[in-house]
Structure 1
Amino acid sequence: MKILISNASEKPIYEQITTQLKAMIISGELLPESPLPSMRLLAKELRISVITTKRAYTDLERDGFIETVPGKGSFVAKKNTELIREQQLLLAQEHLQKAVDAAKHFGIPRSELREMLELIYDGE
C-alpha cells in the first residue's frame, strides 16, 4: 500500500492518510475484508506518530470504510454500495467544480465547457 505524505500540504497528516485510503477503497484497489497495516506499522512506515494513524483509522471507521476487530486488526469494510456511490459522486462533483471555476475565471462560456465535457466523456 502506497501512501504519500506531504509536509507542504495544508491538510493535516491524518486527513491525508484518510483521503488516500478512501480513494483506494472507492477505486477497488483495496478490496472488502482486506487487512490494513496495524496503526503502529503504518506509523513506522510513514515515520509519523501512532496517534496520527489512530486518528485516521478512527475517522475511516466512523465513516464506514473500515472495521476494526479487537486483537485481529483493521480491515476494509464490506462495501456499502450507496456509500461508495455517494463518495464517487462527491469526488466527481469536486473535480467538476474546479473545472467550472477555471472556466469562469478564463471567461469560457457554459456552452463551450459543456462541449468540452461531452468530448472528454466520449473519449474524443
Structure 2
Amino acid sequence: MKIVISNSVGEPIYEQITKQIKNLIFNEELCAGDSLPSIRSLAQELKISVITTKRAYEELEREGFIETIPGKGSYIAGQNKELLRERRIKLIEDKLLEAVEESRLIGLSLADLKEMLDILYESNK
C-alpha cells in the first residue's frame, strides 16, 4: 500500500491518509478482507505520529471503510458498490456546491462556471 504525505497541500495528514485509503478502496486496489498495516507500522513507514495514524484509522472505521479486530488488526470492510458510489457522488456534490458558493461571491456567471468545469473535465482525462 503506497501512501504519500505532503506538507504543502494544507490538508491535515490524517485526512491525506484517509483520502488515499478510500481511493485505493474505490479503485479496487484494496478489497474487502485485505489487512492494513498496523497503526504503529504505518506511522513508522510515513515518519509521522502514531496518534495521527490512529486518528485516520478511527475516521475510516467510523465511516465504515475498515473494521478493527482487537489483537488482530484492521481490515477493509465489505462494501456495497452502490453505497460506495453514492458516497463518492455526495462528496462531489459537496465540492461542487462549494465551487458554486465561491463563484457567486465573486460574481462569476453560471455559464462561466460551466465552461470552467468543461475545460477542467476535458484536460484531466
TM-score computed with the length of structure 1 as normaliser: 0.75
Tell me the CA shift for residue 111 of structure 1: 7.7
Q: Which residue of 2 aligns with 1:25?
A: 25
Q: Return the alpha-carbon distance in structure 2 between the equivalents of residues 83 and 28 of structure 1.
A: 14
CA contact (8 A) 1:26 1:87 kept: no
- SS of residue matched to 1:75: strand
Is 1:53 matched up with 2:63?
no
Q: Return the alpha-carbon distance in structure 1 between the equivalents of residues 55 and 34 of structure 2.
A: 20
Structure 1 gaps, min length 5: none
- SS of residue matched to 1:71: coil
- SS of residue matched to 2:5: coil
Tell me how large the CA RMSD over aligned residues is. 2.9
Tell me the CA shift for residue 6 of structure 1: 0.6
Tell me the CA shift for residue 32 of structure 1: 0.6
Q: Return the alpha-carbon distance in structure 2 between the equivalents of residues 8 and 56 of structure 1.
A: 19
What amino acid is the match of 1:15? E
Percent identity between the two aligned chains:
56
TM-score computed with the length of structure 2 as normaliser: 0.74
Q: Return the alpha-carbon distance in structure 2 between the equivalents of residues 10 and 79 of structure 1.
A: 30
Q: Which residue of 1 aligns with 2:84?
A: 84
What amino acid is the match of 2:49? S
Q: Which residue of 2 aligns with 1:73?
A: 73
CA contact (8 A) 1:13 1:52 kept: yes
Q: Deviations over 1:70-113 (max 9, x none)?
A: 11100000013343021231355467679989xx9xxxx87898
What amino acid is the match of 1:59? E
- SS of residue matched to 2:74: strand
- SS of residue matched to 1:67: strand
Q: Return the alpha-carbon distance in structure 1 between the equivalents of residues 92 and 63 of structure 2.
A: 19
Show the 5 A alignment for 1:1-124.
Answer: 1-93=1-93
| Residues 1:4 and 1:94: Cα distance change in structure 2 (over 3 Å) | farther
Structure 2 gaps, min length 5: none
Q: Return the alpha-carbon distance in structure 2 between the equivalents of residues 114 and 13 of structure 1.
A: 32
